[in-house]
Structure 1
Amino acid sequence: MNSAISKFKFNDILQREYGFDDIMSINTLPGGYLEEETWLVCLKLNRKYVVKIINHEFNVDHLTTILNFQNYLYSNINYPCSLVISTLNSKLVVQINNNHYLFIQTFLDGHVPSLIELDESYLMKMGTLLGQWRLASRTFISIVPSTNIEKRELTCQWWIEQFDRLSLCKHLEKIDINYLRLILVECQERLNEKVDQLEQGLIHNDFQPSNTLCTDDDRQVYIIDFGEACYAPLIVDLATALFLLLTNGIDDDNRLNTFLVSYKNLVRLDRHEIELLDVVIRLKLTANFIGDCCNVKSKEEYDHSSWLQSCWKWINALHQERRNLFQTMICHK
């Protein structure tokens, strides 16, 4: 059981806060960054719920707003995601201690798609769902104060953190720190004067195939893991999704175009977003690469990480010969 909560306290919270008096079993589920973070709770009559125990670094208002948005998606536009369950006192979040929170959502029965399953049909559904997210975010933000949502992306503090992380990668001799710094500086110069002109809203911030579930029978696509959601320029969500597709092996023009076209069928990108899309893609790719390299302990670990090798390949490609890859796709469709 998670060190933040004993098994006795875990059961006590479920009974006291949610009225779960008929628990049949509690088992861990894969998912999340921390061990024993996600649990499957089975009740009588085949009722299943997913319990998330998280060490949340932001305030509880932020987390509650994210979960409210998840329920808004589920209830108002029939979005394929879990429904967050309220406590008996109508709370979405239960605080366990100073740093840990707990919330419960409905169980989705599906699997993370394999690379073979990520065909044009699947990518079309993903592009549509990201577009629907953006449209729903506009409406939601108009009725919920954005002050309740943490701003994490492209803020002054965010830029400081990216440059600070570079120094933590010096132990990896294969990493050209100066080259990565050059990319960050170039992107910062391009974005600083225009970021305020970009439409802001609530973004998923980790929209990728591994954060989707596919049903075995009708290939319904569900979106999961809203934990990285924050308030940021909405183009960041599209940029993040595209670089994650590239680095996860979705690098052919047909599938990338399918994703983009299905997104654009719902969302009209303005000229600033089109102009800056490739810049934000390079920035997010580079920042994620640097962040992951900080956690690599040795050259051998780096060499055996297919994810980092893929990131490095695309950092070079997008910084050099394919700088306007997605702007070209958008303008020719």
Structure 2
Amino acid sequence: MFEQEDMCGCLQTRLSGVPLHQTTAAPDVLYRVGQALGRLSLALEPLRLPAMHRPILWHVGCWPRLMELEKHLTSGPLAESVRVAMRNYVELIELQLREMAWQVTHNDPNPFNTLLTEDGVAFIDFGDGCWGPRIQDLAIAASHMVTDPSLTLCGAESLIAGYASVLPLSALDAKLLVGLIRARQSALTLINYWRADLFPAEAACIKKNVARAERGLSILSALGVGEAEMAVRRVLS
């Protein structure tokens, strides 16, 4: 960061690579992404940063209030899936989060912020970074990979397995992971429908990840709580 007279700025390093959303997310690619995400979690764990406790809509602590934005959704299956996922989060997951490991997290490792480079996998855009459950980054990344209901975890298997090969999941992580994925998909949907209504000219950019979240949520909505936990355990084994 620098300041001089009437100007201030931030010098950033430019990374050359291909964003994950522009590639074919083959299982081996997703496994490497998961491994990189696990290494990122380990690197962030010891950090204590200014403003890491600031309130932002993307933080899990704000999610119980997000249903106030429900009026921006059109009524139908999507709205119902969002209601169910957020109710599950509030009633079954939120109180158990205090028992999980917390640390500084990236908090937005989506396919637009994940680059495949010549030197490996890189992550950009740490602007939503904050203090949260360690597993949150895995839940966010996995939420964007849910595309195929015929697979054990609907397409997120390799990414989760890669992460766990670097940073093993606890029993509680395995129990809550799918619920956190669904809650994140719902939070993304609620926040971005609201933002798109506020800034209609920017709606296409704002909602670039929404279709993926909606499809993923519709797929995971078919999994019961116990069934979801067993699916995660099968991947980890």
TM-score tier by shorter-chain length is 0.7 to 0.9
Cα deviation, residue 242, structure 1: 0.5
Aligned to 1:80: none
Q: Secondary structure at the match of 2:223?
A: coil
Equivalent residue number for residue 237 of structure 1: 137
| Alignment correspondent of 1:261 | 161
Written as runs of structure 1 = structure 2, the 5 A alignment for 1:43-122 is 92=1, 94=3, 102-113=9-20, 115-122=22-29
Q: Distance in 2 between matches of 1:207 and 1:126?
A: 10
- 3-state SS in 1 of match to 2:46: helix
Q: Which has the larger radius of gyration?
A: 1
Choose which of 113, 125, 129 in structure 1 pairs with 2:36. Answer: 129
Corresponding residue pairs, total: 225
Cα distance in 1 between the residues matched to 2:184 and 2:103: 17
Q: Which runs of 5+ in 1 are unaligned?
A: 1-91
The structure that is helix-richer by fraction is: 2
5+ residue gaps, structure 2: none
For residues 260 and 275 of structure 1, the distance between their equivalents in structure 2, rounded to whole angstroms, comes to 14
Larger RCO, structure (CA 8 Å, separation 6 or more): 2
1:276 corresponds to which of 153, 163, 176: 176
Q: Deviations over 1:187-236 (max 9, x none)?
A: 11112321211111111111122212233xx4732221111111111111
**Aligned residue identity for 2:134:** L
CA separation of 1:275 and 1:124: change in aligned 2, threshold 3 A = same
Q: Which TM-score applies when normalising by structure 1? A: 0.57
Corresponding residue SS for 1:245: coil
Q: Is the 8 A contact 1:239 1:280 kept in 2?
A: yes
Q: How big is the alpha-carbon RMSD for the aligned residues of Structure 1 and Structure 2?
A: 3.4
Q: Work out the CA distance in 1 between the residues paired with 2:180 and 2:221.
A: 12
Summarize deviations over 1:281-303 as a string: whole Å, max 9, x none. Answer: 111111111112224459xx89x
Q: How big is each residue's C-alpha offset from its partner over 1:105-141, in whole Å with a ceiling of 9 and x where there is no partner?
A: 122222324554422332122111110111122222x
Cα separation, partners in 2 of 1:314 and 1:330, compared to 1, 3 Å: closer
Matches within 5 A, 1:121-270: 121-140=28-47, 144=48, 148-151=51-54, 152=56, 153-155=59-61, 157-160=62-65, 162-167=66-71, 169=72, 172-174=74-76, 177=79, 180-215=82-117, 218=118, 220-246=120-146, 256-270=156-170
Other structure's SS at 1:201 match: strand
How high is the TM-score relative to the length of structure 2?
A: 0.77
The percentage of aligned residue pairs carrying the same residue is 19
